[in-house]
Amino acid sequence: MSFVDRLKAMLVLNPKGKEFTVPAGNIKRLSVEVHSYGFSASVEWWAVSQVSASEDELFEHFVKKDPIEAVLKLDRAYDVEGGDASGLELTGLVEERWVHERAFSDVQDAPVLQRRYRVRFSDRGTVLWRQHFPTGVWVDQKLQEVIEAHKPDGVELSFKWEAAKTQLPLHTLGLGAEGNAASFHDFIHWLLARENAGLFYDPATGKYELSDSKPKGGKAIELPRDDVAELEVCLPEPRRDHAAVLNSYVEAGTREKKVDNANKMEGVRQEYLLTSPLESTLTDRATLEGKRQRAPEPELCVHFRRYPSITLLLNGLYGFGEDWSTKLYTNGKKYRLYRLELRARAELKDPADTLNDETNNYEMEMTATLELEADPTFRRPSFTRPRWPFYVEGTVVSEVGQDDELTYEARQDSDTSLEYYRVKLPLWDKEVLVPYDPHQQPGHFYFPADKGARVLIALDFRSAVLERFLAWRPGAKLPKESQGNHLLLGKKPESETSIRHIYEDSKPLLRILRTSDKDTQLIEVAEGRLKIQVKEEK
């Protein structure tokens, strides 16, 4: 639903210490999408040189690779009687830029006297996080610390998210791993969706808040009836599934926990599968899914007939006063603004029209989308899910015995009684805990990973698993000519047992050698002979 109104508009560009101002008269087209978690805007304008091409001082800075900060200011050209509404101001970083040059062949030297510029810019965190693909490991740290470690210059964060303040054994990020297409921006929104929390952006300060609850509102601002052309109530369909969390762990005390859904229908199920020896893991996941199951409340789309005469505050509360019918669905309800869309085209499109005027007439479409104050669901953009696991090399750590002894060690968790290997990841000089279990061996083989073993570790977001071994144990490898097999047991060459099956003259030979310092015992079985030897070296 379009309308024509006169706006006071200004675009300010700051490329590397310079400042260039573009007034409304030069701006021919703009669009704005402001969300509770950030914004995106595009502006198109003309620069007209009336005497010489050198009048356009922006061009030489615009084509450089330096970052450009952009500020867009929008407000009504004329305020309503008694009104004191504040305008909209958005500050961000340019992420795309274009320029179209118009040369004049009928002028001496065919100078470029007109240029049409266009930029698209977004809030600082969005622009920089979209280009950020870190890979790392954080041990015994809080999620808040992990996120703050990836805070770009100029980005301010605050946390009202209790779960992010809990120290956990492990966090990993493999956004730089082969095959991963997700950026840190994707990771943030995936994480918030996973943990049922939200990201909230304040255009006035440029700050971000990560919170497990919606911003608290004060007194609701009344929407003026004269500003609004149409109200539209959108009724989202609630989920109809029976939700449950399943635990496939063989010795689990509880196999299934159901999640309440008052809107469920028979024959529709959503089952979340996990495998954990801990009862608390099942309980915590069921609690989380219960929160995520909550149905969104009906939302309200407000289509404007003019540029609003009130201040539009992202995450601010709005209501309906005496000017509105009490029979409307919206009567008596408070709504929170979470999205604002504006499209505007100048009525006069020629580059020389309204040149350098502070205001301009625009044909516009403007819509605000609001949610009920009590709506429990979080708004977030579409995102690419980060990929886990990713794989890195490590070496097994054991403090049992002497430094030169190939011992093994199981570290028991005091809270859960589960046992773990310690594996050092040289890339980050950190140790991670890996389940102490048979891995790919049958259970009747007991061959724990010993000290210094080079292993491949599969890293998930909050866990690690020993994927496979990468190197032979020192002394275990046999000459290829022997076509042999070797089982080498023990701590070191002076204290070990070697069981070899090799071929000599194309005939099999079995050799068992026990070594304890200078004391050796040998059993050798070959074609036509059995050798048993006990020997002590002098």
What range defines the domain where residue 403 resides?
A: 390-469
Number of other CB atoms surrounding residue 358 within 10 Å: 13
Identify whether residues 74 and 13 lie together within a single domain: yes
Identify whether residues 142 and 192 lie together within a single domain: yes
- Residue 507 falls inside a structural domain: yes
pLDDT at 112 (0 to 100): 61
Identify whether residues 72 and 6 lie together within a single domain: yes
Indicate the burial class of 174 (C-beta count within 10 angstroms; 0-12, 13-18, 19 or more): buried
Burial 75-109 (b: 16+ CB within 10 A, else e): bbbeeeeeeebeebebbbbbbeeeeeeeeeeeeee
Residue 269 contacts residue 244 (beta carbons within 8 Å): yes
Strands, sheet with 207-211, edge to edge from the N-terminal-most edge strand: 156-160, 207-211, 198-202
Structure tokens at 296: 């969104």
Identify whether residues 123 and 134 lie together within a single domain: no
Alpha-helical segments (H) within 70-123: none
- Residue 308 falls inside a structural domain: no
- Residue 228 falls inside a structural domain: no
CA separation for the pair 60, 53 (Å, rounded): 12
pLDDT at 219 (0 to 100): 86
Query: What is the length of the chain?
Result: 538
Identify whether residues 59 and 167 lie together within a single domain: no
CA separation for the pair 1, 57 (Å, rounded): 38
- Residue 90 falls inside a structural domain: yes
Identify whether residues 244 and 263 lie together within a single domain: yes
HEC states along 172-207? EEECCCCCCCCCHHHHHHHHHHHHCCEEEEECCCCE
Structure tokens at 290: 């219960």
CATH number at residue 462: 2.40.50
Closest to 82 (Cα-Cα) out of 268, 266, 224? 224
Identify whether residues 260 and 148 lie together within a single domain: no
Mean pLDDT for back-to-back runs of 10 residues, the chain (538 residues): 93 92 95 96 90 78 94 89 82 95 64 84 97 96 96 94 94 94 96 95 94 86 92 91 90 89 87 89 88 87 94 92 90 94 94 89 96 92 95 95 90 88 96 91 88 95 94 91 91 92 92 93 92 89
Position 415, amino acid: D
- Residue 404 falls inside a structural domain: yes
Structure tokens at 228: 């609004």
pLDDT at 441 (0 to 100): 84
Which of 342, 372, 402 is the last residue in one of the domains?
A: 372
Collapsing DSSP to helix, strand or coil, 96 comes out as strand
**Count of domains forming the chain:** 5
Q: Which residue has the tokens 């794989």?
A: 391
Identify whether residues 335 and 368 lie together within a single domain: yes
Indicate the burial class of 126 (C-beta count within 10 angstroms; 0-12, 13-18, 19 or more): buried
Strands 156-160 and 135-142: unpaired
Give the DSSP letter of residue 485: E
Identify whether residues 347 and 441 lie together within a single domain: no
CA separation for the pair 58, 20 (Å, rounded): 7
- Residue 208 falls inside a structural domain: no
Q: Is 280 left (phi over 0), alpha (psi -120 to 50) or beta?
A: alpha
- Residue 191 falls inside a structural domain: yes
pLDDT at 108 (0 to 100): 57
Give the DSSP letter of residue 385: P
pLDDT at 105 (0 to 100): 60
CA separation for the pair 162, 157 (Å, rounded): 15
Identify whether residues 9 and 96 lie together within a single domain: yes
Which of 200, 223, 245 is the last residue in one of the domains?
A: 200
Residue 88 contacts residue 75 (beta carbons within 8 Å): yes
Which of 445, 469, 493 is the last residue in one of the domains?
A: 469
pLDDT at 10 (0 to 100): 96
Identify whether residues 395 and 455 lie together within a single domain: yes
- Residue 181 falls inside a structural domain: yes
CA dihedral 459, 463, 466, 470 (to 10 degrees): 20
Identify whether residues 516 and 498 lie together within a single domain: yes
